[in-house]
Amino acid sequence: MNLKDRIAEYPNFPKKGILFRDFSPMLKDPAALSFIGDEFSKYFHPKDVDVFAGIESRGFILACILAGRYEKGMIMIRKSGKLPGKTTKLSYTIEYGKDTIEIQKGIIKEGQKVLICDDLLATGGTAKAAAKLIEKVGGEISGFAFIIELTELNGIKGIEKYNCKSLVKY
């Protein structure tokens, strides 16, 4: 299946000069969702994953698809202030400023193998921060799963030591 045929492109979004690649059309296509699960299942072995972590918010979708496929749990990596209860936070620099992500305290056990999921890898700032956050609380990164990778932005730099898989590359 050619997933590029199911990715919408929006020029000048969210700002002028950006070409936004949107995987949303895949969400209404059961064959595409099944294909995504199949492709990642070929790459990541179930014994290497204890839990899936979805990066807010589009990563939640991929993490849920894979968690269901693997019969494992899913946790959320969210922007600061979005999770109830006590959280562990990590602030990081992005291309246009600073941001903070968090997870709920105790949601990852020491040594648990975590596969981090997001819809798109661009500059890699959030992916790198997510890995640091998971490791900060004692989790082990088993890899990264991305539907789309914008290779010209070199976001893989800094996470290439992990097992990374992108289904569509531009």
Task: Point out the residues that are catalytic.
Answer: 58, 95
> Which amino acid does the sequence have at 96?
Y
Look at the block and give the residue holding tokens 């990778």. Answer: 149
Do residues 62 and 36 touch, judged by C-beta distance below 8 A? yes
Closest CA to 46 of 143, 129, 120, 137: 143
Q: Is 115 within 8 Å of 143 (Cβ atoms)?
A: yes
| Residue at token pair 């105790």 | 106
For residues 22 and 80, is the Cβ–Cβ distance under 8 A? no
